[in-house]
Structures are given as structure tokens and as C-alpha cells.
Amino acid sequence: MSKSECNHARRSMLKKSITLAAGVGATAATGTTLATPCANKGDQAFDHVYDVIVVGSGFAGMSAAVQAAEEGQSVLVVDKMPVFGGNSTINGGAMAIAGSATQKEKGISDSVELMVQDMLESGRGMNDVEMLKLVCQDTASSAIWLEGFGVEWKPFVQHFGGHSVPRILQAKQSSGAGIIRPLIKAAEAKGVEMKKQTKLESFITDDSGRVIGFNALVNHRYERPSSGEAKRFGARKGVIMATGGFGQDIAFRQIHQPKMTDELTSTNHPGANADALKQMMLLGANPVHLDQIQLGPWTSPDEKGFGTASQFNTIGTFPKGIVVDPRSGQRYFNELADRRERATKIMQNRDEKGQPVYPIGFTNAEGASRAQTLEWGLKYDVIKKAENLDDLASLYDMPAEALKQQVADWNKYVRQGKDEQFGRPLASAIELNLGPWYAVRMWPKVHYCMGGVRVNAKSEVLALLTDQHIEGLYAAGEATGGIHGASRLGGCAIAEGVVTGRNAARNIANKNSVTLKQA
């Protein structure tokens, strides 16, 4: 099929989707050349044919691939990057689980209903409640499913901001690689084929509009958008899009959040752009909540990406330390509020010239005892050590007496079991009496996109104009929108990715196959 035939077949769809869903200027603003969806007129042969093709190899993609293989499907995973795993390999490996065995061992009372309530509160009520419940109901069973492939959790439960009880299990490596690597190993053992440096360029549909595959560039280099050899991939039952968010796509995110300039770097890998999202939109997919872009409040301006500060802060500073304004030595927000509230408070703290005033988060040796990144943070001078509070104040030019009074006040709140300043939950809090002290500067980074394509409870992508599902097109994980509403709670990305990836796989396995010709 010629390019002109293909363009003619989808011209009307292109006009409807881009104009209605993304704004006319979206494509021009990002500088991306979009390939239009292509109808498979003439029954043209495919270079490769499988039952199911998964695009993306993070938590959602690999969970979908393994589950689909368990359902008896032939499965291919493609990823445009030179390594598998996407952002998932570089995240903290923390999963929110309602009703885990470790919670029960520790005497922590939790429930699916409480997790739903916490996520609704954080999401400011904007959540897709049906999908939210679907995720929360399957976290405990999915954690056990992961353990079956060799995932190992730390033997304690963490309390992340916005959760009303401790419910976070973290891979013992403090990295998502502790989950991705076992999933890749399991996928390979089950016969899943995997191709990296393979970029989806445009979908291929049959005469009914059903997605039956896509055009791709193989041997692609993400830093050279047009590089690679063109190939056609066929999917007899459909395609699962697990392509993540667009945190690194500054032009696209500024269409929806103009203030998110290059002043804000990202925790995402360099290929985290909106290309795959745009291809779904060209098919008519309904994009929701694209302006809801999360900033991670636990990062530091003194290093790139997640770095060492993130794990130090999530396991040390926030639950077992305090955060202060260096000008006053005083706390100015609840360290266990949800991410949106904390990031907003940090971003708003500026000097008279509008420049950021980086807050100082710190804890003592007891509070930092489980921070696996402490040694590396000290080595690269991101985390600083002080023997006493006077030295700590001197390191960051803080008023020493005010700082010491703040610490004394904090210790009183812990003893009385009530934070009189900001109402922070104190279940994991400790008195800060003895040094040495460990501290970091903080500044948020773009971390997660709550927005994406709208899906139904079968993880089928829904069309903007009809609200009906697009045959053959599924999506899971961060590529979807609505589950988290306005703000995602920590640990809920892995929960969402694993649960919705498996959900998509189970449902696609039950679809009828189409007959495809292989070259």
C-alpha cells in the first residue's frame, strides 16, 4: 500500500482526533512528524505476526506480556529504547498493597476500601472510580504473583505520604529493576519474544477499523527519530499499549501545563515523550487529564534524575525527619502530605527575586538507618553529614537557635502523639535527639503523567467521539488516564502497572483472532 493511499484512508480521522483532542497546534509545537493510521487494504503481508503485541517493557508491559503468555498466547514485546524496562527500572521499586501478609504480620489494619479512599482524596475526586477499584482490589494477589517470579520485598512496611496507613512494600534492591528483571526472565522462560530499538510509527487497521498491527522502525535510535528499517508487525488479537508518560516531552507538557518549563527536569528516561500517545489519538482515542502532571517532591537539585536523594527522603527524611525553610529554620508543610501538596509548597517557596529557596530535609542516624543510598549520596556530596545541629545550621546557612527550637518542638509533638503545626501522621515518626545528622536540599522534578487515554474495565481504549472501545487496541499503566485523578500517591504506579497490564492481557486473550498473512 502506498503512502498516499494510506493517508487518504485516514485523513478524516486525523482531522477529527487531533483537532478535538489535542489542540490544533500540538503537532507543530512538539516538532514531531506524525504518521497516520493505515488501513490494510489489499490484505498486505506482515513481516512478523503474533497473537498479542505489547508496546513498552515497563511494569505494565512486562506484566501484560507474562500474563498473556500464561493465557496461552504468542507474545511479542517491543521497546524503542536500547534497553528494556523504561522508567520502571529506574524508579524506587515501591508498591502500594492493601492487605499484604507483611502488613498483617506487623499488625497494620488495612483494606481495599481504605486504599480507594486514600487515592480518591489525593486525586481530588477526579479519579475513574471503576478503574481505581479494579487496581486496589488486585494489589495483594498481584504482589504474590510477582513473588512467584522471584521478586523479593524488604521485610518491613513503609508509610508514604498521603496514605493513611503504612502499605508500601519495596523491592529489596530499592529499585524497580528488582521487579522488572524477574518479569523479563519469566517472560523469556514462557517464550515471549522481545525486540528493543523497535519504534511504533503508525497503527494498521482492517476495513472495520480494528487494530491488527502497526508499522515500525527496527534498529531504531531514539535520538535520531527517522532512523531504522521499516517493518510491519501483525497482531491477531490486538495491541497492548504500555508506553508510559511524556515527562521528558517539554513541548507537549507545556501545551497542557505552560508553567512546566525546562526549569523542571525529570526523573524519566530520555525517550519518555508523547509519540505513542499521539498515535492512539490519531485513531480517535479519548485523552483525559493530560494537564495533570505530577512533580516528585523528594528529589534534589544537586543531582540528575532520581539520584540518591529520592530513596533517602522517602524512607528517611519524610517519615522519620523534618523539612525546613533554610531562612527561618522552621517547617512549612506536612512532610507526609500527598505529592502534589508537598511539591506545590516547595515550588512556591521563593526569594524576593523569584528564585527557588530549596528546603532542607534532614533526619538523624536512626532515621537514615534504612536508606540504602546514604553512602552514595554522601560520596557525591548530595547528602551532607553534620555532627550536631549547630554544624547542620552552618552547612546550609540556617539560624541555629531557631532550628534547635524547631527540633525541640517536633520532639514534643512526637511524645504527645500530635503534630500541632501541620497534623502530620506520626505512626513512623521518631524523636530527633541524637546526631549525627544527614540532610539534603530538595526541588521537585517532573515524575508522572496522570493523564493518558481513557480505557474501560477491560483495558480497551475508548474513542473520543463514540465512547465505544476501539477494536484491537488496549492500554495499561501510565499510558492510561483517570485512575489517579489529580495526584498519584507514592507506590501506586507499580500497583497500577502490574494490575492493569495483567487485566489487559486476560481480556485480550479472550478476543477472537483475525487471520493475517505473513510475508
Output the CA–CA distances (angstroms, integers) from residue 32 to 28, 152, 224, 274, in the order listed: 7, 41, 12, 9
The span from the CA of 336 to the CA of 206, in Å, is 50
| Sign of the torsion angle spanned by Cα atoms 424, 429, 433, 438 | negative
293 contacts: CB under 8 Å, gap ≥ 6: 247, 253, 256, 257, 260, 446, 448, 449, 450, 451
Place of cell 552552618: 394
Among 10, 339, 340, 454, the active-site one is 339
Task: Let me know: does 488 contact 161? Beta carbons within 8 Å.
Answer: no
- Which grid coordinates belong to 178? 528488582
- Which grid coordinates belong to 432? 530527633
Residue 94 in 3-state DSSP? strand
The span from the CA of 481 to the CA of 128, in Å, is 8
Instruction: State the virtual CA torsion across 340, 133, 422, 104 in degrees, nearest 10.
Output: -130
| Sign of the torsion angle spanned by Cα atoms 369, 371, 375, 378 | negative
Output the CA–CA distances (angstroms, integers) from residue 330 to 261, 296, 342, 344, in the order listed: 29, 22, 15, 17
The span from the CA of 501 to the CA of 478, in Å, is 10
Task: Let me know: does 183 contact 66? Beta carbons within 8 Å.
Answer: yes
Count of other CB atoms within 10 angstroms of residue 34: 17
Q: Smallest Cα–Cα separation from 75: which of 195, 160, 168?
A: 195
Count of other CB atoms within 10 angstroms of residue 216: 24
285 contacts: CB under 8 Å, gap ≥ 6: 17, 21, 453, 454, 461, 462, 463, 464, 470, 473, 475
The span from the CA of 408 to the CA of 419, in Å, is 12
| Percent of the chain that is helix, strand, coil (3-state, to 5) | 35, 20, 45
Q: Smallest Cα–Cα separation from 205: which of 11, 22, 74, 9?
A: 9
Count of other CB atoms within 10 angstroms of residue 333: 21
Place of cell 509519540: 275
The span from the CA of 284 to the CA of 469, in Å, is 10
Active site residue 339: yes
DSSP 230: E
What amino acid positions are annotated as catalytic residues?
339
